[in-house]
Structure 1
Amino acid sequence: MTGGSRRRSPSRRSARPARAVLAAVLGLVALLPAGCATVPGSSDVTVLRRVGDPAEPSAPPGPARGAGPLEIVRGWILASGSTAERHSAARAFLSPATAGSWDDGASPTVVSDRVDTTFVAGSGQSPDASVRVRADKLGVLRPDGAFVADPGTVDVTVRLTQDNGVWRIADLPPGTIVRRTDLRANTRPVRIWFQAAVGGAPVAETRYLATSPARSVASRVLDELLSGPSEDLRGAALSALPAGAMLRSAVGTSADGVTTVDLTRIGPVDALDEARRTEIAQQIVLTLAGVGIDRVAPSVDGEPLVEGRTELGVGDVLAALPPVVRERPDLPSGNTASTAATPPALVVTGGRVLTVPDPSTATTNGPDLVTGVDDARSASLSPDGRDVAVVGNGLDGMRLWVGRTGAAATPSPVAGRVVSRPSWTPDGTEVWTVVDGTPVRAVRGAGGALTPVALDTAPLAGYGPPSTLRLSPDGTKVALVSGGRVLIATVIRDTGGGARLGPVRVLRPGPVGEALAGVLDVTWSQTDRLVAVGTALGRPVQVASVDGLELDSPTTTNLTPPVTAVAAAPERPTLVVDQGGLWSLPASGGDVWSSVPGGSNSSVPAYPG
């Protein structure tokens, strides 16, 4: 399915046309009881917060009799949570003329959970009033379902008029204002699967899909797939689906529970080579797996997409991948037994590279995972667990070493005053690190030795020197820490073996309380989620989605900030190091962090990769 290093034909799409999958998404669906005066001229502030009361209506039937301007605006925001019939509940708060012209399909603006409404100074006298709506802006939800971070402030004015004693909104901005918690409640994140531009390995991108109507979820998620990868993946991923491909009919389900997907406008199926058809099937099956569909019958104009296979499951498409790709933890499970043992987490402590003890047993750290490095400072296992990259400290500074697990390591030319914890590519052929503030890429030769090669990091200019980096589980992105911020960049490769960084963005900037700041270390827990640790007051451990929409903090019980190092992986405990030593939190979460024996406040943990 993937073969060697190759780049897709330029005819395969990397840009997506505009689509209106979430054309009428969401509004604010929670409101505090009235704390503002509802008479014209009041300057009190009403704060909209999530109440969490399941009995609270998601959309009121319409304006209450005698409602004042502030109540009308609050009601419009509340009613915008109902998208039924193009926000008909919200339109009830508008004047007849405005209700007919309001553009509710514009891209929703996503804001933090606090939204303030106040009268504009000097406003509120009949027959006109103006209400100011303010909130911290996180970004926008594009019509294709992708969230694009665009921090700032929402500050809009809604004008109202009074007719025969009844207040209605006469002028308002297009689109809706959506709080983050309401977006969570009304959409589901779905991974859309594409192909790496070089090598062809699966690459996922998160889109937010409206949860209703449920009957059309499968068709809508395939619309996202057909639209191609976003600008964020430009140069890193492409689609095997030809431009213009579309669904020939609605996605259906056969009597025996198989989901039928019939495509058209991709030319005769026999005109596509077997590899191309297999790649298309891979994208379809992996994408539908994200919405709970595990048996798919893909076809083109009624003919089976893959010759001789009328039905495919996740296990079938995974079996066609090379073993090193098939075992990636970010891929959907094919419910087939893995042939590879799960490599352990490691920890560097006291100058040694050791296995992290299993908290469910009485095991100790065991023997050194690698020898020959007198003063190890950090390390990472290769994805398959067979090799170890180690940063050792010596009289001439730090140096990167590499060797087989359980054997002596060999020094590499990668050296400097400070060398950060190494990070492996998913196929185990490269090791990346930061040397004295500059990202460095080293390729493994036939004998396993590391050789530094070119890496274009020009897009990092202006952000300050990074102190650490981690490659994503699929290898298409890199996260770096610079000046307490997390930077995200796409990794763009060419068929000649070169690599460069794409455009760089700061992950989750914004005001205090909404920003990801004070970061000392970062790692990937999934391809679309990171864990950052550091000095943030009350939030020394934070979990962020790669698009910047989500930012959450797990429990801090038992931790003593600052937290200096972190390791995470799918379905595995999160490991952190604080001033008291090494701690573990189960993948399922928990109320307290548990101490891991053998750690210290200078330990550095790592999962393979």
Structure 2
Amino acid sequence: MKRILLAVLCLVLVAGCANVPLESQPVVVSGERQGQGSGDVVPDPEKDIDPLTLVRGFIGATLKPGQNNAAARAYLDDQSRAAWRPNRSLTIIQNTFGTVYDPAPQPDPNTLVVNVRGFDIGTLDQSSAFVPDYNAAALRIKVRKQANGQWRITDPPPDLYATESDFSENYTAVPVNFYSEQSATFVPDRRYVVAKPQSGLPSRVVNLLVSGPSTSLAGSVKNLLAEPVEVDTNVKSLDDGTLVVALTGLSGAADDIRNLIAAQIVLTLQYVTSARIRILADGAPLVANHPDWRANELPAYDATLSPRRELPGLMTVGGRVRSLDDGAPVGGPAGNGGYDVVSAAQSIDGKRLAVVEREGGGKVGLRIGDLGHDLASVGLSGTTLSRPTWRPGTGEVWTVVDQASIGRMVVNQNNQWTALSVNATDLIQQGGITELRFSRDGARVAAVVNSQLWVASVTGSGDSVALREPRLLQPNDLKEVVDVDWLAQDTLVAATKSTSQPVVRVTVDGQRMDAFNSSNLTPQVHGVTAAPGRPIVVADASGLWTASVLGEVWRPQNHSMKDADPFYPG
């Protein structure tokens, strides 16, 4: 009898796990899909699929259209289907991933654990902002064979998971704008909203505005729509196409605040609609005698973000500062060889120049003054100083001293420069900082740390300034970075030692990276400068080259010089 029972038990175990492959090969989940509307019946998974395919199908169904993640729920058993309450956070994984059985034995042959093999590239947090995080996927999903012989998931993860291509297909990036009092301009906070239905986009975006800036910008910008301001109703479209944004809680608000709120709303909604925008406050026009708005009716808040056309940019070459326009040296010791210049930065208005000069004895020092004149030594020196960068709206000059601390120089009414501290501990802990560049709105800095690209927000003023929320961008694909600059407020351009992608464009949150054409460039590229509306200028082993778009072949700069390092004002 014991032998018979043992034989029966073995048969049960074999039957419970029969036809289940031990491992699936990594696959690219296709972005092509037939979605269901919220009222459609969601079909069950394909009959008799194995647990590995079931888990891949579950991940692929996460972002299918439908209410309450109905397509993904179809992969769960009845109990989990009713109980699953996933968080709002979304983890985005690489398109190529595999599923394998957990090697730990399970006491029940009808229950298995599937591990997802691949890499997370980041998460969409509670505020709909992308947070880069390149780590091995840590996803374990338990599946169980049901009474009808079909495998179903019994413990779905608390967070949603989706592939990179599915995310790109279903979400759209929107720069949600917030106000910077420091530079008197608006700062884009890159957020991601569900793209369909398109008619609901404006309402979803306005809700993000009211909820305030993401964690990466909190403390750097002002939320003009903070409490007690609320959205009275969903954004709606009138018969003539006009969008109506109805607010409450603005009683007694000053005219200048009302105009800034109107600009914040219009600048943000221009990315999701071309319609007129009617902004109401407590039932009346937000701004008296101006109920309807279009983006071209706003003041030029971004006028101070870009250098004037008559400022072509400069370059350092052979220890001197020269013009990018005609190659002529600038006036004064910076151009005539009076200083042995290592690097330099021109103020956004073009009137001032900061230079790092060789002082002898293996030391370098910082000088700042009016362009074309003697530049005062400000008493900041070290073994290395990074190329200076001007902080917008303040007149401050920052540089990294010996890759380990930030020198912040502030000028007083007597034109004397004083060093103030910067709390940069969070960034400095990441390693040696070789480059530091202010965004043109002053809300962020980009930094090259241990040859990788980082971004941090700038908070505070006066004696208390800090760099916070440092984030590493594209850590897996972007390495050997040597220089960086701001192509736009939410876009960076970086130069690398790589021969395959020497120049790349990266979104400020690291969600996307694109390589520029490498034609005509001679390794290695060692410098880059960029500005809104200006061609990108890079420096390689042979000289200077320019391009404006990703696919464009690099052209020789008009007055190219070998070993030159270019820089635009700012």
TM-score range with shorter-chain normalisation? 0.7 to 0.9
Question: How far apart in 2 are the matches of 1:388 and 1:153?
Answer: 46
2:384 maps to a residue whose letter is V
Mapping 1:133-172, distance limit 5 Å: 133-162=116-145, 163-172=147-156
Question: How far apart in 1 are the matches of 2:469 and 2:151?
Answer: 47
Question: How far apart in 2 are the matches of 1:492 and 1:51?
Answer: 42
2:458 maps to a residue whose letter is V
SS at match of 2:385: coil
1:314 paired residue number: 295
Question: How far apart in 2 are the matches of 1:414 and 1:515?
Answer: 39
Please state if 1:592 is matched with 2:553: yes
Please state if 1:83 is matched with 2:65: yes
Are the aligned partners of 1:488 and 1:506 in contact in 2 as well (CA < 8 Å)?
A: yes
2:5 paired residue number: none
2:512 maps to a residue whose letter is E
TM-superposed CA distance for 1:200, in Å, is: 4.7
Question: How far apart in 1 are the matches of 2:469 and 2:242?
Answer: 42
Question: How far apart in 2 are the matches of 1:283 and 1:229?
Answer: 12
1:202 maps to a residue whose letter is F
Please state if 1:429 is matched with 2:395: yes
Please state if 1:554 is matched with 2:519: no
1:351 maps to a residue whose letter is G
TM-superposed CA distance for 1:312, in Å, is: 3.0
Question: How far apart in 2 are the matches of 1:292 and 1:385?
Answer: 37
Please state if 1:534 is matched with 2:496: yes
1:500 maps to a residue whose letter is V
TM-superposed CA distance for 1:223, in Å, is: 0.4
Change (3 A) 1:372 1:122: closer
Are the aligned partners of 2:430 and 2:449 in contact in 1 as well (CA < 8 Å)?
A: yes
2:556 maps to a residue whose letter is S
Question: How far apart in 1 are the matches of 2:72 and 2:162?
Answer: 13
1:191 paired residue number: 175
Question: How far apart in 1 are the matches of 2:35 and 2:100?
Answer: 23
2:329 paired residue number: 368
Change (3 A) 1:548 1:169: same
Question: How far apart in 1 are the matches of 2:323 and 2:269?
Answer: 37
Please state if 1:507 is matched with 2:486: no
2:245 to 242, 247, 261: 261
Please state if 1:489 is matched with 2:466: no
SS at match of 2:445: strand
1:410 maps to a residue whose letter is L
Q: Normalising by the residue count of structure 2, what TM-score does the alignment of the two structures yield?
A: 0.85
Q: Cα RMSD over matched residues?
A: 3.0
Q: Deviations over 1:105-142 (max 9, x none)?
A: 54111222322111233779963333221221223212
Q: Deviations over 1:6-55 (max 9, x none)?
A: xxxxxxxxxxxxxxxxxxxxxxxxxxxxxxxx964423332132557x5x
Question: How far apart in 1 are the matches of 2:481 and 2:422?
Answer: 25
Question: How far apart in 2 are the matches of 1:436 and 1:580?
Answer: 28
1:443 maps to a residue whose letter is V
TM-superposed CA distance for 1:404, in Å, is: 4.8
Change (3 A) 1:428 1:599: farther
1:390 to 355, 359, 367: 355
Are the aligned partners of 2:23 and 2:52 in contact in 1 as well (CA < 8 Å)?
A: no
Change (3 A) 1:409 1:213: farther
Change (3 A) 1:234 1:113: same
TM-superposed CA distance for 1:548, in Å, is: 2.9
Indicate the larger mover: 298-307 or 433-442.
433-442
Mapping 1:101-140, distance limit 5 Å: 101-121=83-103, 127-140=110-123
Q: Deviations over 1:512-531 (max 9, x none)?
A: xx253322222222222222
SS at match of 2:260: helix
Please state if 1:228 is matched with 2:212: yes
Are the aligned partners of 2:455 and 2:473 in contact in 1 as well (CA < 8 Å)?
A: no
TM-superposed CA distance for 1:205, in Å, is: 1.1
SS at match of 1:326: coil
1:400 maps to a residue whose letter is L
2:121 maps to a residue whose letter is L
2:114 maps to a residue whose letter is V
TM-superposed CA distance for 1:601, in Å, is: 5.2
TM-superposed CA distance for 1:155, in Å, is: 2.4
Q: Deviations over 1:458-489 (max 9, x none)?
A: 44453334222101111011122232233333
TM-superposed CA distance for 1:409, in Å, is: 4.4
Largest Rg, 1 or 2: 2
Question: How far apart in 1 are the matches of 2:80 and 2:30?
Answer: 30
Indicate the larger mover: 156-165 or 532-541.
532-541
Gap runs ≥5 in structure 1:
1-37, 330-337, 358-364
Q: Normalising by the residue count of structure 1, what TM-score does the alignment of the two structures yield?
A: 0.80
Question: How far apart in 2 are the matches of 1:201 and 1:221?
Answer: 20
1:326 paired residue number: 303
1:44 maps to a residue whose letter is E
TM-superposed CA distance for 1:599, in Å, is: 3.6
2:265 to 284, 290, 310: 284
Are the aligned partners of 2:368 and 2:377 in contact in 1 as well (CA < 8 Å)?
A: yes
2:439 to 467, 472, 477: 472
TM-superposed CA distance for 1:349, in Å, is: 2.1
1:517 maps to a residue whose letter is K
Question: How far apart in 1 are the matches of 2:19 and 2:286?
Answer: 65
1:99 paired residue number: 81
Change (3 A) 1:460 1:198: same
1:353 to 317, 321, 335: 321
Are the aligned partners of 2:132 and 2:471 in contact in 1 as well (CA < 8 Å)?
A: no
1:251 to 207, 227, 235: 235
TM-superposed CA distance for 1:156, in Å, is: 2.1
Question: How far apart in 1 are the matches of 2:352 and 2:413?
Answer: 14
1:25 paired residue number: none
Question: How far apart in 2 are the matches of 1:354 and 1:267?
Answer: 52
2:129 maps to a residue whose letter is A
TM-superposed CA distance for 1:145, in Å, is: 0.8
Question: How far apart in 1 are the matches of 2:384 and 2:59?
Answer: 52
1:202 paired residue number: 186
2:441 maps to a residue whose letter is D
Please state if 1:48 is matched with 2:34: no
